[in-house]
Amino acid sequence: MKPAAFDYLAPHTVAEAVDALGAGAQVLAGGQSLLLEMHLQRARPAVVADINHVPGLDALTVADGTLTVGALVRHRTFGSPGAVPGPLGDLFGRAVGYIAHPPIRARGTMVGSLAWAHPASEWCALAVALDAVVEVRSTRGTREIPAGDYFRGPFQTAREPDELLTAVRYPLLGPDTGVAFTEHRRTGFSFAQVAVGAALTVRDGVIAGARIGLANCADRPLRAHAAERAVVGAGPSPLLFAAAGEAAAAHDAAPVPEPYADVDYRRHVIAVLVARTLREATPV
Ligand SMILES: Cc1cc2nc3c(=O)[nH]c(=O)nc-3n(C[C@H](O)[C@H](O)[C@H](O)COP(=O)(O)OP(=O)(O)OC[C@H]3O[C@@H](n4cnc5c(N)ncnc54)[C@H](O)[C@@H]3O)c2cc1C
């Protein structure tokens, strides 16, 4: 199908982009979800504001222990070794390999994924697990929304329609933190049936901190608090991680049935993947 007719705007500043959104335009970032929706005519924006001409939105900066990712930083940036320092860069590097395929990773953006809020998005699960903060701007000003409050349901967020997501911020992970990301999917380029990202901090043989994010385990990305509680304060072991997997499946996840995966099957996959991800994340 062809998209319905629309007007095209190319703002050259954030202020122009925000004005366009205030007048009802919809943002075009990487276009890897929006253009598909427009071609299928599930999205029919009257006006599209293409933010690709706004300088500065492609900035990736590290300062004071915080990584700031601008709205035009593409997925593939995170596949470049050293783009993000330390374990956080390692975690993003592992996750990005699961996102679609190289052409989509070359255009699609991390922030666009947070705006789109697909329940199976790798970036959305990590944003929740890592206590990221999203920055949104409108003609009313700028506000910051913790990722834990930002996702409201499938494709639903706390962002108002006239707000531009300008950046997302993450605290860097310390050097005594190990990371892993695993995923189960039916076919090579489909979205995850279940994805798990983890960061595990171990000091003196004891798990001092755990961050576990789940994608496609509920109607929105989740932080697996029950699984985290199951491991913090104990020494890493396969039995402990198996128990954490069971806790995630039973208490954190709220999977919905899919055509090729009923709820029992999905809970089983969640338990197995959480245990595996924690084993892989254990720092050596
Ligand atoms: C075949 C296929 C497979 C895919 N597989 C995966 C996958 O495995 N994992 C995954 O996570 N994603 C996957 N995607 C989606 C892809 O990652 C997109 O790049 C991503 O969802 C959106 O990013 P974008 O920059 O392309 O945004 P766009 O497509 O440009 O925008 C998406 C939506 O977000 C809004 N938006 C974008 N940026 C902003 C902003 N700064 N402020 C306000 N609103 C904004 C747009 O208005 C639109 O509603 C897949 C897509 C395709 C087509």
Question: Residue 1: inside a domain, yes or no?
Answer: no
Mean pLDDT calculated for residue range 171-189: 92
Q: Is 161 found in the same domain as 132?
A: yes
**Residue 149: is its pLDDT beyond 90?**
yes
164 lines ligand 1 (CB under 6 A): yes
Residue to probe by mutation, ligand 1, list 6, 44, 96, 116, most atoms within 8 Å of CB? 116
Q: Is 113 found in the same domain as 22?
A: no
182 lines ligand 1 (CB under 6 A): no
CATH of the domain at 40: 3.30.43.10
Q: Is 235 found in the same domain as 262?
A: yes
Give tens-digit pLDDT for 109-144.
999 999 999 999 999 999 999 999 999 999 999 999
26 lines ligand 1 (CB under 6 A): yes
Give the 3-state secondary structure of residue 148.
helix
Q: How far is the CA of 80 from the centre of ligand 1 (A)?
A: 20
Query: What does the pLDDT read at residue 187?
Result: 76
Q: Is 260 found in the same domain as 229?
A: yes
Last residue of a domain, which of 171, 199, 229?
Answer: 171
Mean pLDDT calculated for residue range 195-224: 97
In ligand 1, the atom with minimum distance to the C-alpha of 45 is: 47
Give tens-digit pLDDT for 7-65.
999 999 999 999 999 999 999 999 999 999 999 999 999 999 999 999 999 999 999 99
CATH of the domain at 246: 3.30.390.50
Q: Nearest Cα to 253, choosing from 209, 200, 207, 194? A: 194
Q: Please give the tally of structural domains in the chain.
A: 3
> CA 204, CA 176: separation in Å to the nearest integer?
10
Give tens-digit pLDDT for 225-242.
999 999 999 999 999 999
Residue to probe by mutation, ligand 1, list 19, 28, 34, most atoms within 8 Å of CB? 34
Q: Residues 173, 85: contact at Cβ < 8 Å?
A: no
Q: Is 149 found in the same domain as 71?
A: yes
Query: What does the pLDDT read at residue 135?
Result: 98
47 lines ligand 1 (CB under 6 A): no
Question: Residue 182: inside a domain, yes or no?
Answer: yes
Q: Is 196 found in the same domain as 263?
A: yes
- Write out the residue range of the structural domain in which residue 35 sits: 7-53
Mean pLDDT calculated for residue range 197-219: 97
